[in-house]
């Protein structure tokens, strides 16, 4: 897991998060701890739910399954880097949360495209249409 995490953090360093350092603790947890999402980042910890394709992280990187699993972990690592760059998020600010999610999905989409996947992420669908009419 450390090698996959490090490779994704290096990718982030080269794609807009040059100052992001260190590694979060990555854990598999019950769904309730991720608020029913597949992944959740909080306070230096990336939590992956039981629905997250953990095994997909370790299959041949060129397989679509690996691209999707790694992009989902990358999404949470973006939040780790955002916390370093911007500080803690105000839990009462929907605008701050949406801005971070928009950025994380945009970075995730870029990763997928650079790795030959044309998967469209539901969150980013409207924004991707605006970027590429």
Tens digit of pLDDT for each residue in 61-87? Answer: 999 999 999 999 999 999 999 999 999
- Return d(Cα 44, Cα 59) in angstroms, integer: 26
Q: Which domain holds residue 103?
A: 2-131
Q: Give the count of domains, the chain.
A: 1
pLDDT reported for residue 125: 44
Q: Among candidates 67, 63, 33, which has minimal Cα distance to 51?
A: 33
Using one digit for the tens of pLDDT, what is the confidence trace for 44-55? 999 999 999 999
Q: Please state, in angstroms and rounded to a whole number, the distance separating the CA atoms of residues 94 and 92.
A: 6
What are the start-end ranges of the H helices in 1-133? 2-14, 64-86, 94-114, 125-131
Flag whether pLDDT at 133 surpasses 80. no
Confidence of residue 90 (pLDDT cuts 50, 70, 90): confident
What does the mean pLDDT of the chain come to? Answer: 91
CB atoms within 10 A of CB 21: 10
Distance CA 86, CA 1 (A): 26
């Amino acid at each position: 897991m450390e090698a996959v995490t490090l490779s994704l953090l290096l990718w982030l360093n080269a794609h807009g998060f040059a100052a992001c350092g260190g590694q979060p603790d990555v854990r598999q947890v019950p769904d309730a701890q991720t608020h029913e999402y597949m992944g959740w980042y909080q306070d230096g910890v990336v939590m992956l739910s039981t629905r997250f394709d953990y095994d997909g992280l370790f299959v041949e990187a060129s397989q679509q399954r690996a691209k999707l699993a790694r992009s989902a972990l990358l999404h949470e690592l973006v939040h780790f880097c955002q916390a370093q760059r911007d500080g803690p998020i105000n839990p009462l600010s929907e605008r701050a949360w949406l801005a971070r999610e928009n950025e994380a999905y945009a970075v995730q989409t870029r990763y997928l495209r650079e790795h030959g996947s044309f998967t469209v992420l539901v969150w980013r669908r409207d924004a991707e249409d605006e970027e590429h009419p």
